[in-house]
Structure 1
Amino acid sequence: MFARITSRALGAFTAAVFAFSVGATGAAHAAAPAPAAGEWVTAWATAAQSIPDLADPPPLYRTPDVAGRTVRQIVYPTISGRGVRIRVSNAYGRAPLTLTDVVLAQSAGGAQTRPGTAVRVTFAGKAFVTLKPGAQLDSDPISVALTAGQPYAISLAAGPRQTVTAWHRVANQVNYVSTQGDHAADETPGAYTRKFTESAWVSALDVRAPNASAIAAIGDSITDGLRSSLNRNRRWTDALSRRLDEAGATQTAVLNLGISGNRLLSDSPCYGEALERRFERDALGQSGVRAAILLIGINDINFAAMPPRAGLDCDFPHTTVTARDLIDGYRRLIELAHRSSVRIYGATLTPASLPGPREAVRTAVNGWIRTSGAFDGVIDFDAALRDSGHPDQLQRRFDSGDHIHPNDDGYTAMAAAVPLDWVTAPTHR
């Protein structure tokens, strides 16, 4: 069963944003505006999550000092295009986000950029931008070409009192923070003395690609790529993007909107807003999305059994869910997707070595996903990864070692289970 779909152009952003200019310095040049005609498609994206607001957080939730410094983040677009815009976000921010300089350049590895490729990014013609808490904003279009699969550095000089109050915690990518000062246009890496494996402030990179579209993969740590190889792009979404390229479907972007620890129905102090509440912004709000792949529910099943912890309890609330609770949540997301003319594919929950009662919920949910006909199609990740002799367990060759998350080969097997003719079906206009 397939829903007819229409490609979606992202509407003009309406959140209140206060922007003003400061002098532009450094080696980056101001790019000429990209032509206004043509369609924008998100080529790379990530999902934001709040950071626990604690005076003395545990090490995993301690943020780098960014006040008056420059953050350099490495991103890999999944389609090519000429004409670029960068979406900065203060989602879940507890204070205004002030950026004094933003530069896009080709990465030369690590924190180094390729000489002569730096382009200054502006917002309503200004280099300086302040976003209120909860706001997000697309940059002005810039007329440069981006190549799929190649790394790009986005460098953001922060205001003198700026802090990080929201991020994407499991970026699986090494990013960088500089010493004091605006180092956004630096080509050499010397000022970037601090490494971190989270990402902040940049939520999407759009390209002008009139015949392209995007697939939004949204879910929990298994979509996020937890325990895949650092800095090697070995998540299942990366493997799917490579499969598409090899099949000649170079105009289909794959966006990873997973959050490790995320749940369908419950918010978490550490693991993000419930997926059913973030779905419209994180998946349907991307430019040019025509399909979504949904893999979520294993944490809803598991977290009720996690012992409460003193201090920071990331698993709170310890809500018990039934298969019916999850199915009702899926139905709500299906309705939202179809209301936006986006196809939505249901992915079966992968083996997690659960005890009997929780495994029974997982099995019932997977049975409904496979047989209900409610989704526009089913991607059977469970069948791709399970041990045939012990179907509640991952195959040993796909197990990263924790019996829940796949290794790199397991993520590749997941990508191989996605029917390419579904996700690349022509868009009806």
Structure 2
Amino acid sequence: MKILPALSAALTVAAALSVTPSAQAAAVWQAAWATSLQSVPDLANPPGLYARPEVAGRTFRQIIHSDLDGSEARLRVSNRYGSQPLVVERATLARSDGAAGLATGKVAAVTFGGHASLTLPPGAEADSDAIAFPIVHGQALAVSLTLGTRQTMQAWHRIANRVNFISTPGEHAATASSADFRARTTHYAWITQLSVPGTAAGSLVAIGDSITDGLRSTFGARHGWPEDLARRAAADGQPPVAVLNAGISGNRLLSDSPCYGERLAGRFDHDAAELPGVRAVILLIGINDINFAATPARRGLDCDAPHTRVTANDLIMGYKRIIADAHRRGLRIFGGTLTPAALPPEREALRETVNQWIRRGGGFDGVVDFDAALRDPRRPNQLLPAYDSGDGIHPSDAGYAAMAKVVPLARLRDILSHP
């Protein structure tokens, strides 16, 4: 078991010293699925959309899909944004039946330092031991965590764009039937990464806001542009490419949010650059920085706060800092142009200025012109109607597919194969 980062003696992780440094160093892992977490607003009576599901003493079953094949797997458990210890009593990995149940076959126990249970203090993360379980790209996997009797959900990926499942009280990590998993949620929590033994090619991270998160694509169909890009790569007769989705709906480049997570400039290292086996990044962020300055303040939970007004130079300097960080780590980084959002003239001018810098500024290693792929030629400040999900901002399934199509896959393959 690997603990991230190194922790003080206050860390209570069962038998962490049972894994020798030489055994830990021998494994070379590559991320094949990932998600990014955000804090749950800490309110006594939150709005319904931000109410925490009841998880204490229950089993939380999450459905994930690996983009790579592997003979074994490793899971990362995170308490990064927690303010209380995270207690996992038992964890398993199995094939999903497509809903709350498990498909026929092996249910693999997930251990940490050889032990079934794990306690992580606030801010800590841990990698599991290697799990002897065959991973096939594209297949649905069920990760089941039985939580401690006092556990609460303090961080989540709020919009997983799929259903995950919570059991009735009790330990159900190996239960194959769906009958005991009656509660539904659209969140991911605690599990942030699945890795497999490293392959010749590296992984790609797509990091950004709701348009990377896949908001308003068909629910449960995995039709965000990163998922479509992974399918495109798998269908071209060459080895699959892991496209890791680090999008968070509502996220901004320069400002934290009580609802939409740590600013991307702050989370970039953790959520993108430090993932194992990553060699390239596609960055698409900034439209919420432009928009949230103009949204009205709300009483109670104001998710758009702070309503910071930004200039084009503010955003450009933010991009430059991320580019420099990526290059220090030996990563190639592509800039995605900001997509049409039917903005009023002042904000539209800001979007256009930023896009011109992304295209011509010379800072990124390449450009993915999402704006050109999606805009209506007659009204370039708007999405093409066929690519509009209906709100004027988020693409439809067809729009997300058009975004995936414009990514220079051959060039990315070359980068991923030649560090």
TM-score normalised over the length of structure 1: 0.93
Asked whether 1:98 is paired with 2:92, we answer no
Q: Counterpart in 2 of 1:209?
A: 198
Using the alignment, how far apart are the partners of 2:412 and 2:26 within structure 1?
26
Give the direction of change, closer, same or farther, for the CA distance of 1:115–1:15 in structure 2 (3 Å limit): farther
What's the CA shift for 1:142? 1.6
Shift, 1:247, TM fit: 1.7
Structure 2 partner of 1:269? 258
| Distance in structure 1 (CA, Å) of the matches to 2:148 and 2:259 | 26
- 2:276 aligned partner: 287
Match runs of 1:8-407 below 5 Å: 13-16=5-8, 17-20=11-14, 37=26, 39-407=28-396
Report the residue type matching 1:19 in the other structure: V
- In the alignment, the residues of structure 1 paired with residue 227 and residue 72 of structure 2 have an alpha-carbon distance, to the nearest angstrom, of 23
SS of the residue corresponding to residue 67 of structure 2 reads coil
Residue-by-residue CA offset, 1:329-368 (whole Å, 9 max, x unaligned)? 0000000000000000000000000000000000000000
The secondary structure found in structure 2 opposite 1:145 is coil
Aligned counterparts of 1:84 and 1:212: Cα–Cα separation in 2: 17
Q: Distance in 2 between matches of 1:232 and 1:151?
A: 12
2:398 to 384, 409, 423: 409
Residues 313/260 of structure 1: CA separation in 2 closer, same or farther (3 Å cut): same
Letter in 2 for 1:20: A
**Cα separation, partners in 2 of 1:218 and 1:39, compared to 1, 3 Å:** same
Amino acid at match of 1:168: H
Q: Is the 8 A contact 1:216 1:293 kept in 2?
A: yes
Deviation at 1:372, TM superposition (A): 1.0
Letter of the aligned partner of 1:300 in structure 2?
Answer: D
Question: Mean Cα displacement is larger for which, 248-257 or 298-307?
Answer: 248-257
2 CA distance for matches of 1:233 and 1:128?
A: 31
Q: Which structure has more RCO (C-alpha within 8 Å, separation ≥ 6)?
A: 1
What is the rounded CA distance, in whole Å, between the counterparts of 2:4 and 2:226 in structure 1?
28
Instruction: Decide whether the 8 Å contact of 2:166 with 2:182 is kept in 1.
Output: yes
Q: Matched residues in 2 for 1:243 and 1:83: separation?
A: 25
Q: Is the partner of 2:315 in helix, strand or coil?
A: helix
Q: Which runs of 5+ in 2 are unaligned?
A: 16-22
Q: Post-superposition shift, 1:224?
A: 0.2
**Pairwise mapping of residues 411-426 of structure 1 onto structure 2 (< 5 A)?**
411-426=400-415
Normalised by the size of structure 2, how large is the TM-score? 0.95
Q: Distance in 1 between matches of 2:238 and 2:125?
A: 30
Identity %: 54
For 1:262-290, what per-residue CA distance to the aligned partner results, in whole angstroms no more than 9, with x for missing partners?
00000000000000000000001111000
Question: How far apart are residue 20 of structure 1 and its match?
Answer: 2.6
Q: Deviations over 1:71-108 (max 9, x none)?
A: 00000011111120000001111111000000000011
Contact preservation (8 Å) 2:4, 2:126: no
- The 1-side partners of 2:106 and 2:144 are apart by 13
Q: What is the CA distance between 1:35 and its match in structure 2? A: 10
SS of the residue corresponding to residue 87 of structure 2 reads strand
Aligned to 1:402, what secondary structure does the other structure show?
coil
Structure 1 unaligned blocks of 5 or more:
1-9, 22-33
Whether the aligned pair in 1 keeps the contact of 2:3 and 2:125 (CA below 8 Å) is no
Q: Aligned to 1:333, what secondary structure does the other structure show?
A: helix
**Offset of 1:143 from its aligned partner?**
2.0
> In structure 2, how many angstroms separate the alpha carbons of the residues matched to 1:103 and 1:11?
19
State the partner residue of 2:18.
none
Write out per-residue CA displacement over residues 134-192 of structure 1, whole angstroms, 9 at most, x where no aligned residue. 11110001222100000000000000000001000010111000000000000111110
Q: In 2, are the aligned partners of 1:168 and 1:199 still within 8 Å (CA)?
A: yes
Runs of 4+ in 1 over 4 A off after TM superposition: 10-13, 34-38
> What is the CA distance between 1:116 and its match in structure 2?
2.9
| Distance 1:97-1:11 versus aligned 2 partners, 3 A rule | closer
Amino acid at match of 2:116: A
How many angstroms does 1:38 deviate by? 5.3
